[in-house]
Amino acid sequence: MMGRPVRLRRTLNLFDAVSMGLGAIIGAGIFVIVGIAAGMAGPGVVYSVIIAGVVSLFTALSFAELCSVIPEEGGAYEYSFKVLSPFLGFMTGWMLIFGSIVGGAAVSLGLADYLAFLMSFPANLLAVGTCLLFTLVNLIGARQSKIANDVLVILKVAILLLFIVLAAPHIKLSNFSNLLPNGMSGVISGAALMMFAYLGYCNIATISEEVVNPEKTLPRSILISLALSAVLYLLVGFVAVGVVDYKELSSSGSPLADVMNVTGNETAAWLVSLGAIFATATVLHIIILSVSRIFYSMSRNRQLPNVVNKIHPRFMTPYISILLAGIPMTALAFVGNLKEVVALATFLVIVSHILVNYAAIKVNERTRPPFRIPFYPIPPILGIITFAALALSLLPDIWPMATAVLLFGVVLYYIDTRLLKRKR
């Protein structure tokens, strides 16, 4: 006989939810990608940042609307399951879990590369250690987890603000004399790259049941974290290309540190590198948190065994779900090079966002959401179009792997239906 659905404690306020969003959005990408994007767009990279932010806003509005209607754990998975169908829900969960675990392992390896400069230790073992550390942080409770996230987010935002303040006086207006050296096509290419630096806002929705007053707090936190990230990205991009010629930035693996070196401030350059470590660490932490909540939600919807949604009696966390997220990620980090499948992981996350925009349209046909999308239905339609274009741009290189992963997900769904005898 089934008991009442298991619920998590609501302990996170607006500040915590915004911090989660900033932690997921502002990753090591801004410390690296801005240089690559500048190589494509030139000083016009500031336009790339704006375009990417506007495109991200389309889908962020869909997330904001859906989490005001369905303030439950699981985010995109839960929306697809409840608004579209159990099959599309399962596939969304599968795509997000696979994509996030691979992406998380890649993030841990990136973090290990930074740490390897500070200590003589094998990068793979450092990556394994960081995965285990943040799995433990998530296990011991939402309060402790949010404290760790808040501290890391404050540190990396402070370092980015320090970068802006210290580097801004060294801006050379001559660097902006040829604003669009590669034309608008370069700006669009830079925007497509910067898009991936914005995708973390969706992670806020996966912790809906742990947020106080979710119908209002969740939409606000998604939009506030996206807006704050966009402003930081815009200022960082403007200062970076203003201080150092965009051609030099494009060939740098640590463009912000190089900018600080040009100013002659070696201490600040070291702090910027430290900021990249903080940024990567918060992203890894939130990926484990988000994936665990998808597992938890799928179990509660009876698409995974009931044991998966068990809550630890002391820490009040879904510990089985957290272990299911952290252990595979740790194993992949130990394996090593994941560059070949990162594009696949990104593709799967983008496809799940297309389904979220579709769900936002469908939910409007059934109810009046507490949060209404401005100018509906234009934003979700544009969200579908732009994310479909991004997915297609990635597909030529990874279509055999993408097809195999999606087909495997279909097989898992029907095995799940038969073995667990779920009611559809």
What is the DSSP code (8-state) at residue 238?
Answer: H
pLDDT class for 322, splitting at 50, 70, 90? very high
With contact defined as beta carbons under 8 Å apart, do 293 and 75 qualify? Answer: yes
Neighbours of 339 (CB within 10 A): 8
Q: What value does the mean pLDDT take over residues 38-66?
A: 93
Domains of the chain, first to last: 14-412 (1.20.1740.10)
For residues 318 and 316, the model is more confident at 318
State residue 2's pLDDT score. Answer: 42
Q: What value does the mean pLDDT take over residues 45-51?
A: 93
pLDDT class for 48, splitting at 50, 70, 90? very high
Residues 6+ apart with CB under 8 A from 323: 135, 139
Q: What value does the mean pLDDT take over residues 242-258?
A: 85
Residues 6+ apart with CB under 8 A from 231: none
Q: How far is Cα 13 from Cα 218, in angstroms, rounded to an integer? A: 9
Per-residue pLDDT of 108-118, as tens digits, reads 887 776 676 66
Q: What value does the mean pLDDT take over residues 11-28?
A: 86
Kindly compute the dihedral angle of the four CA atoms of residues 278, 284, 285, 290, in this order, to the nearest 10 degrees: 140
For residues 213 and 91, the model is more confident at 91
State residue 302's pLDDT score. Answer: 87
State residue 420's pLDDT score. Answer: 64
| Backbone angles phi and psi of 12, in degrees to 5 | -105, 130
By mean pLDDT, which of 65-69, 132-136, 349-353, 420-424 is the weakest? 420-424
Neighbours of 165 (CB within 10 A): 12
- Is residue 315 pLDDT above 70, yes or no? yes
Q: Considering the chain, what is the average pLDDT of its residues?
A: 86
